[in-house]
Amino acid sequence: MADGIQPQPGIMDIALYKGGESHLDGVSNVLKLSSNENPLGPSDAAREAIARASHDLHRYPPTDHTKLRTAIAEVWGVDAERVFCGVGSGDVLKLLAEAYAGPGDEVVFTEHGFSMYPIYAHACGATPVVVAENERVVDVDAILAACTDKTKLVFIANPANPTGTMIGSAEVARLAAGLPAQALLVLDGAYAEFVDGFDAGKALVEARQNVFMSRTFSKIYGLGGMRVGWGYGPQTIIDVLNRIRGPFNLSTVALAAAEAAVRDTAHTEKCRVENAKWRDWLANALAELGVPSDTSTANFILARFADEAEATACDNHLRDNGIIVRRVAGYGLPHCLRITIGDESACRRVAHAIAQFKGAK
Ligand SMILES: *Cc1c(COP(=O)(O)O)cnc(C)c1O
């Protein structure tokens, strides 16, 4: 490439995102528990909507997402005018960074925060600021202490990935109230639907002007392959995001699938209940084997081993048995493995393999 052609500052500081692996050489019957995917898949209504939408693909999709925003508003009790839809919630978060941060600005997140946050910061030329957590839990005081007059965005996932922990509404409200005037609090609610009755920050968005909530169809709705997410925030911010998104960012198929999925509240509830049941079962089974985890509020657990060597050895044993979980050394957690909650047989299979590993040592 010509020397003179250079990307924007920050872009070459980005380490490529590594998705969860899905193949093991020479192994059939691979069990993938590395990307927090829903083992039950999407609702049947979503599958049917996808099939129907396939007849309209010569037409451009609508640009205003009205039907999807209306469905989200009815199901989650939010104002449809302030719902923004993106190509996965990652797209929504990236657009926020592009719109509100640039060179010289700071983007704050925590030490075990989602690995996309530094990528969004670097991509817009802003400076990532990493704040310590307190025993794998977001520390509001530490975040407030790290904020300066350059802070533009504060990203926290609640529940958090990969720790699975969360902070209470009073703590989130204290964080929002304590931020400098030019900083926006972004509550990433990718796992919010796994928490019974949780509003994911909706009331705080409505009470304040400096809070934005993002949500996704990739996790409990089982539509990670479809790429749909949404956000809820002050009208001024929604107006900004609508100016910079692609006009046809969501395909006809994606819009139809998401609308049907969000309206199928019975399926969502079934997924939440099944996840909670097998998550607690797996956490207990591993704890009895001497592998503790923090109480998870999401669809995975963060299993803690004695040290990095033991986590690596267990990961190798799981791979030998066709099971892929997530190494989280890149999240500053080299002694941990993040294990997605699969269905009953998946949970039994991974627990059995870890019991073998512990017994064999
Ligand atoms: C999975 C995940 C997302 C969702 O990404 P999509 O782009 O919506 O698929 C967002 N934030 C966190 C913390 C996640 O784990």
Helix (H/G/I), strand (E/B), else coil: 69: helix
d(CA 200, CA 142): 21
pLDDT in tens, 100-133: 999 999 999 999 999 999 999 999 999 999 999 9
How many Å lie between the centroid of ligand 1 and the Cα of residue 90? 6
How many Å lie between the centroid of ligand 1 and the Cα of residue 209? 24
Pick 24 or 253 by higher pLDDT: 253
pLDDT at residue 1 tops 70 = no
C-alpha closest to that of 94 among 214, 200, 179: 214
- In sequence order, the 6+-apart residues with CB closer than 8 A to the CB of 64 are none
Residue located nearest, by CA, to atom 2 of ligand 1 = 190
* Closest atom, ligand 1, to C-alpha of 157: 13
pLDDT in tens, 267-300: 999 999 999 999 999 999 999 999 999 999 999 9
Helix (H/G/I), strand (E/B), else coil: 255: helix
All structural domains of the chain? 18-41+266-360 (3.90.1150.10), 44-263 (3.40.640.10)
Bridge-based pairing state of the strands 336-340 and 31-32: unpaired
Ligand 1 proximity of 218 Cβ (cutoff 6 Å) = yes
Copy the structure tokens of residue 294.
């923090």
d(CA 54, CA 62): 15
DSSP state of 214: E
Tokens 């047989």: give the residue: 345
DSSP state of 61: P
* Closest atom, ligand 1, to C-alpha of 224: 9
pLDDT in tens, 176-234: 999 999 999 999 999 999 999 999 999 999 999 999 999 999 999 999 999 999 999 99
* Closest atom, ligand 1, to C-alpha of 218: 9
DSSP 297-335: -SSEEEEE-SSHHHHHHHHHHHHHTTEE-EE-GGGT-TT
Phi, psi of 106 (to 5 degrees): -115, 140
How many Å lie between the centroid of ligand 1 and the Cα of residue 288? 31
* Closest atom, ligand 1, to C-alpha of 160: 13
The neighbouring-strand residues paired with 153 are: 107, 184
Question: What is the C-alpha R_g of the chain?
Answer: 21
The pLDDT, as a whole number, for residue 25 is 83
Copy the structure tokens of residue 292.
């503790």
Model pTM score: 0.96
How many Å lie between the centroid of ligand 1 and the Cα of residue 164? 13
The neighbouring-strand residues paired with 155 are: 186
How many Å lie between the centroid of ligand 1 and the Cα of residue 226? 13
